[in-house]
Structure 1
């Protein structure tokens, strides 16, 4: 698959990682702040993720060809990319099964940086993919003639449960990792502590509806994933950026002049 920004966009994937809150309140999600030097969403708070590499498609083709597989190559590749990017950016080994310890995850992260692909890491540690840990949640393709690199991003959900796992920022593309409730992230944006692009804000508003990971997963499984392409609506007094009404989002429009689009 082409990785240029043509009609299909640049394929990308991200995981929204949940953990239980220590105080028993709303679940927390893991967010990262991108380096201000990054071309796309520089300085913005986002979920861990990145583009789908050719090696992800190669491994995805192997997964799709498996005798018991019900997933196509593209979907498998996106889930693999989400798993790879999460290990690379946070040190968390999600979507994997085998003898996984904190020390092995740290070593695997280093090996991934050297190899640049997930398959050699799986082979080295005797791990296997466990895509059942990953739940498709959304797909965003925010086309914009003012953005030179357009990403077609698939979002997934995963759960850490107790969340008693260390995370560490990679210091290359990102400058900070932090846990917060979805509502907490929205409040941080209101006070200016973090900045959010349009898709991240809408996803946080949707995530804030849920009192648990199980609730989020149940909604994700009940609502088929549709590609969300934001549109400008000029029918009212002021231009609005709008999205689909039936994709599970409580807020489906925002004044265009207030939108941060990457």
Structure 2
């Protein structure tokens, strides 16, 4: 597992106002790869958020959401020592089932009817541990490859501390379907394709998603991306504002795997509606 470099006790201040930041909400995201035979770049599963959502309204993002207490409880029950890490992995799998109807990182009967039943049960409030017990599923948490971790520098309505994971989805017959609650559309596309659609104004992507897509666009397969992720220990990415001759830029650190590390502030798509 990659090491996460973070001082949880260090006070965090808003990058603009300098005021203390609220305690971030733990969240996790799963970047689901689908390698395409004879195609140079793998496809990634993206969901487009409802315009009514407080965070990333109308934006195309990777499946994910907040880590709930039952996720931490299940990680503890499974005997994992790092409850925060493995609770986040459980949440990433759970959220992907809820949002896309795709079950990855799960060993067991994954026929379409069974996965749909699990999704409906999750939407009705059944916890993931009960679903796994009922369906005789085992979560393959070590298949999730830690990729990055982001926490914004602004005191928005909510501040999320989000862990990102990579995973390969080999069942091309499994059909992803939108949940029609938090999201209104989903699609598969290579990282370069999604970036191109954003440049053309066809989809909206926020700053972290854009930087992560640029990083993922460097690779021709899931294995290449996973090897790269393992070579770059996960650090907390919390962008900073840098004043330059052409204006203020939102920046992330160099040397952590990202080919592009800054963007003019006036072009940045942030997560919350103003």
TM tier, smaller: over 0.9
Conserved 8 A contact 2:31-2:165: yes
Task: Indicate the SS of the match to 1:194.
Answer: coil
Partner of 2:114: 104
Check if 1:220 corresponds to 2:221: no
Q: TM-score, normalised by structure 2?
A: 0.88
Once the two structures are superposed, the pairs formed by residues 161-200 of structure 1 within 5 Å of their partners are 161=170, 163-200=172-209
Match of 2:12 in 1: none
Greater RCO (CA < 8 Å, at least 6 residues apart): 2
Distance 2:238 2:142 in 1: 27
- Deviation track 1:134-192 (CA, whole Å, cap 9, x = no partner) reads 111000001213x2111110000010135231011000000001000000000000110
Select between 161-170 and 203-212 the one with higher mean Cα deviation: 161-170
Q: Which residue of 2 aligns with 1:134?
A: 144
Structure 1 Cα separation of the partners of residues 125 and 131 of structure 2? 8
Contact 1:20 1:163 (C-alpha < 8 Å) held by counterparts: no
CA contact (8 A) 1:20 1:162 kept: no
Q: Which residue pairs with 1:201 in the alignment?
A: 210
Checking the alignment, whether the CA contact within 8 Å between 1:84 and 1:117 is kept in structure 2 is: no
User: Matched residues in 2 for 1:22 and 1:178: separation?
Assistant: 18
> TM-score w.r.t. structure 1 length?
0.92
1:100 Cα deviation (Å)? 2.2
Query: Structure 1 residue aligned with 2:135, among 118, 125, 135?
Result: 125
Cα distance between partner residues in 2 of 1:222 and 1:7: 32
Q: How many residues align?
A: 252
Does the 8 Å contact 2:21/2:154 carry over to 1? Answer: no
Of 50, 60, 80, which aligns to 2:65?
50
| Secondary structure of 1:239's aligned partner | strand
